């Protein structure tokens, strides 16, 4: 049984608390189908999120099966299902794949046969069996709502909360969804609470909760609704509500609560007797007619026919969730033709751009001869050597920086929208039991593959046109490692930004700015003032990758580059260390962002 006792939820406005939910007290027994209705802005969704635990109540108690959720443990992930207004499925997957993914992430099954049986049962229960192989992106609005319900039913939740799942549907689809919710409430004592703005099909609900300005104006049978508000039609309820303040409606309801709850309880017992409603033994409680009245015991004649409470399913471990998330991410990637084409275009075009500038970088640096035949020849030779230093040094420095900046751009493209672009789905899955560590691990594995492919291809392709002027055998290898690290640094820093931002637009914009500042603040083109250099340099990953690669070159090329830039080089070990810090900070920021509650 779900009991709300004087629940309040407030926000701060101009330094003053404002109650969006104000002293809501209701009882909802097991196997009950309740609608929450009311004018726009009355607090319907806010109340639903407060029940679910997405909003922390400011005052009052939420009691579930005798357990005070504020004092004892909260809902288990498998115990509650929450169907939001937005779609919680990926367009690239099919209906069957979406339900399979939800099941693998939230239910620990013994074998493949058990998994398949659970999926098939849910497809049949929600009327989606004939649509199992259909992509989500081609489903109608009503079919997507059914899919959202199906994905929440994989755990067999005892409490199912639905937020405006019928909004925007045609009358027939709306009625079909309401009937489906009604049928779900009749199985295994499942309590179903649905927020709806529509006043159609209310006769299918066991009770109607009417909110007005965050307060309870009515909670009772739909057949008594018209009489209570003294109107002839349900459509007249909202205009009637507006005729007086919510305090008066709340006061009126408190006076009539006991009588209306007695009628609800009488009807409920009739449903139990004729077998229309089956509830578990542990929750066969009844509506209390007053907040101080203890629940009544169910009739003795019903004790033998009442089913036992369904056991909660176990949540899979981190490794299982990780593998499921990673497999799903690759499947979504390869089915997104636009993303695959973009990655291939970047992978092919960027190294070609670098190779176009390789000719000057392949020139040998002219050196001074041991003997001069005259003063004029010495001046000419010195001029040629200096010109060679400037030409080759500028070309080599530019090629390395070009590689570094392009890989930074690849890294930003890899992850700028990776989390923020699916923020709502992730928050919903986290609510359902997905561990942030498993989610982050799958992103690191997926993005790590892109990093290696992009960086190795950049290094190997450019090497065919421009031989890296290494001063020792491991020079090119060191250069390749720096390319991988700068790509990883930018990828994971942008992943951190994506995890901390609420929208993909915010994340993309900030990531673009971050890449845009890499070249001018690196000092590789124009040396920065010393007062600025010391402040910005630690944060510019492009500088450390460029500097580390230059340090791996032959001393002659280092001198040539030193002749065209005033920016000093750092040792390779220091560059490795700084880039590793960038990667670590990006991952830490990602985890913090994933752990933080960001449900809008």
Residue-wise pLDDT tens digits, 556-591:
777 777 767 766 778 889 999 999 999 999 999 999
Across residues 204-219, what is the average pLDDT? 94
Q: pLDDT class for 306, splitting at 50, 70, 90?
A: very low
- Both 334 and 273 in one domain: the answer is no
| Percent above pLDDT 70 for the chain | 87
Higher pLDDT, 87 or 364: 87
- Both 243 and 325 in one domain: the answer is no
pLDDT of res. 301: 38
pLDDT of res. 299: 39
In a domain, 313, yes or no: no
- Both 298 and 426 in one domain: the answer is no
pLDDT of res. 228: 92
Whether the CB-CB separation of 298 and 286 falls below 8 Å is answered with yes
- Whether 522 has a pLDDT exceeding 80, the answer reads no
**Domain edge (last residue) among 278, 302, 326:** 302
Q: pLDDT class for 232, splitting at 50, 70, 90?
A: confident
- Whether 288 has a pLDDT exceeding 70, the answer reads no
CA 505 vs CA 147, 414, 419, 510, 512: distances in Å? 28, 15, 12, 9, 11
- Domain span holding position 63: 2-79+157-302
pLDDT of res. 189: 82
In a domain, 376, yes or no: no
In a domain, 198, yes or no: yes
Q: pLDDT class for 122, splitting at 50, 70, 90?
A: very high
Across residues 40-59, what is the average pLDDT? 91
- Whether 373 has a pLDDT exceeding 70, the answer reads no
In a domain, 307, yes or no: no
- Whether 196 has a pLDDT exceeding 60, the answer reads yes
- Both 530 and 468 in one domain: the answer is yes
- Whether 163 has a pLDDT exceeding 60, the answer reads yes
CATH number of the domain to which 282 belongs: 3.40.50.300
pLDDT of res. 468: 85
| Percent above pLDDT 90 for the chain | 55
Backbone angles phi, psi at 435, to 5 degrees: -80, 130
Number of independent structural domains in the chain: 2
Across residues 342-349, what is the average pLDDT? 94
Tens of pLDDT, residue by residue over 266-284, are 888 888 888 777 776 554 4
Instruction: Give me the count of residues in the chain.
Output: 600
**Domain edge (last residue) among 302, 328, 349:** 302
- Both 482 and 341 in one domain: the answer is yes
Angle at 397 between CA 391 and CA 400, to 5 degrees: 135
In a domain, 541, yes or no: yes
- Both 286 and 337 in one domain: the answer is no
**Domain edge (last residue) among 273, 302, 331:** 302
Q: Which pair of structure tokens corresponds to residue 217?
A: 């104006």
Across residues 219-240, what is the average pLDDT? 90
Tens of pLDDT, residue by residue over 309-341, are 567 889 999 999 999 999 999 999 999 999 999
pLDDT of res. 321: 96
- Whether 534 has a pLDDT exceeding 80, the answer reads no
pLDDT of res. 326: 97
- Both 289 and 335 in one domain: the answer is no
- Both 224 and 297 in one domain: the answer is yes
pLDDT of res. 17: 83
The half-sphere exposure of 499 on its side-chain side, counting CA atoms within 13 A, is: 24
- Whether 365 has a pLDDT exceeding 60, the answer reads no
Distance CA 578, CA 587 (A): 14
Q: pLDDT class for 519, splitting at 50, 70, 90?
A: confident
DSSP letters spanning 191-255: EEEEE-S--TTGGGSSEEEEEETTEEEEEE-HHHHHHHHT-SSGGGHHHHHTTS-HHHHHHHHHH
pLDDT of res. 387: 56
- Both 458 and 484 in one domain: the answer is yes
- Whether 532 has a pLDDT exceeding 90, the answer reads no
In a domain, 377, yes or no: no
* pTM score: 0.87
**Mean pLDDT, the chain, whole residue set:** 86
Tens of pLDDT, residue by residue over 171-195, are 888 899 999 999 999 877 899 999 9
Tens of pLDDT, residue by residue over 430-488, are 999 999 999 999 999 999 999 999 999 999 999 898 888 876 667 889 999 999 999 99
pLDDT of res. 270: 86
In a domain, 142, yes or no: no
- Both 484 and 586 in one domain: the answer is yes
- Both 511 and 479 in one domain: the answer is yes
Distance CA 456, CA 72 (A): 53
Whether the CB-CB separation of 308 and 289 falls below 8 Å is answered with no
Strands 16-28 and 207-212: unpaired
- Whether 161 has a pLDDT exceeding 90, the answer reads yes
The H-assigned helical ranges of 83-199 are 95-106, 112-125, 141-152, 171-185
Across residues 400-424, what is the average pLDDT? 93
Q: Can you say whether the dihedral through the CA atoms of 567, 571, 573, 574 is positive or negative?
A: negative
Tens of pLDDT, residue by residue over 432-447, are 999 999 999 999 999 9
Query: Lowest-pLDDT range, 126-130, 364-368, 577-581?
Result: 364-368
pLDDT of res. 297: 38
In a domain, 84, yes or no: no
Q: Which residues contact 340 (CB under 8 A, 6 or more apart)?
A: 333, 334
- Both 494 and 418 in one domain: the answer is yes
pLDDT of res. 160: 95
């Amino acid at each position: 049984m779900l009991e709300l006792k004087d629940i309040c939820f407030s926000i701060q406005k101009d330094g003053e608390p404002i109650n969006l939910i104000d002293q809501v007290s209701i009882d909802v027994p097991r196997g009950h189908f309740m609608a929450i209705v009311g004018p726009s802005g009355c607090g319907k969704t806010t109340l639903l999120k407060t029940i679910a635990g997405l909003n922390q109540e400011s005052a009052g108690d939420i009691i579930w099966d005798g357990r005070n959720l504020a004092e004892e443990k909260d809902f288990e992930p498998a115990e509650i299902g929450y169907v939001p207004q937005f779609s919680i499925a990926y367009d690239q997957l099919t209906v069957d794949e979406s339900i399979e993914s939800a099941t693998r992430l939230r239910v620990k099954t013994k074998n493949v046969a058990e998994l398949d049986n659970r999926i098939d049962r849910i497809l049949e229960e929600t009327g989606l069996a004939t649509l199992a192989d259909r992509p989500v992106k081609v489903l109608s609005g009503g079919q997507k709502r059914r899919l959202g319900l199906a994905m929440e039913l994989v755990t067999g939740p005892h409490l199912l909360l639905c937020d405006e799942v019928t909004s925007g549907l045609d009358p027939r689809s709306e009625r079909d969804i309401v009937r489906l919710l009604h049928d779900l409430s009749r199985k295994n004592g499942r309590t179903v609470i649905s927020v709806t703005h529509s006043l159609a099909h209310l006769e299918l609900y066991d009770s109607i909760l009417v909110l007005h300005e965050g307060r309870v104006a009515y909670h009772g049978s739909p057949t008594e609704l018209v009489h209570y508000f003294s109107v002839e039609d349900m459509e007249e309820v909202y205009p009637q509500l507006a005729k007086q303040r919510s305090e008066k409606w709340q006061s009126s309801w408190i006076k009539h609560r006991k009588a209306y709850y007695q009628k609800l309880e009488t009807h409920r017992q009739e449903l139990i007797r004729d077998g229309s409603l089956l509830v578990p033994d542990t929750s066969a409680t009844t509506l209390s007619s007053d907040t101080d009245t203890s629940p009544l015991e169910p009739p003795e004649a019903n004790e033998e026919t009442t089913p036992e409470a369904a056991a909660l399913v176990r949540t899979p471990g981190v490794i299982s969730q990780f593998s499921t998330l990673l497999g799903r991410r690759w499947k979504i990637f390869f089915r997104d033709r636009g993303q695959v084409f973009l990655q291939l275009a970047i992978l092919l075009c960027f190294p070609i751009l670098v190779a176009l500038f390789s000719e000057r970088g392949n020139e040998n640096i002219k050196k001074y001869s041991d003997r001069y035949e005259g003063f004029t020849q010495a001046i000419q030779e010195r001029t040629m050597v200096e010109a060679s230093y400037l030409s080759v040094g500028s070309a080599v420095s530019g090629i390395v920086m070009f590689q570094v900046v392009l890989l930074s751009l690849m890294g930003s493209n890899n992850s700028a929208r990776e989390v923020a672009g699916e923020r709502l789905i992730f928050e919903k899955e986290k609510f359902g039991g997905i561990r942030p560590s498993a989610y982050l691990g799958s992103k690191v594995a997926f993005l790590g593959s892109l990093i290696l492919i992009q960086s190795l291809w950049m290094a190997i392709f450019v090497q065919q046109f421009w031989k890296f002027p290494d001063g020792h055998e491991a020079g090119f290898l060191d250069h390749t490692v720096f390319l991988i690290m700068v790509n990883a640094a930018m990828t994971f820093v942008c992943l951190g930004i994506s995890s901390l931002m609420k929208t993909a637009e915010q994340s993309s914009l900030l990531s673009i700015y971050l890449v845009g500042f890499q070249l001018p603040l690196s000092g590789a083109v124009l040396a920065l003032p010393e007062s600025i250099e010391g402040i910005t340099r630690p944060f510019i990953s492009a500088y450390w990758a460029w500097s580390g690669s230059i340090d791996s070159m032959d001393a002659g090329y280092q001198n040539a580059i030193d002749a065209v830039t005033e920016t000093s080089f750092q040792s390779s070990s220091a560059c490795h260390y700084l880039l590793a810090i960038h990667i670590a900070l990006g991952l830490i920021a990602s985890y913090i962002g994933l752990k933080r509650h960001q449900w809008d």
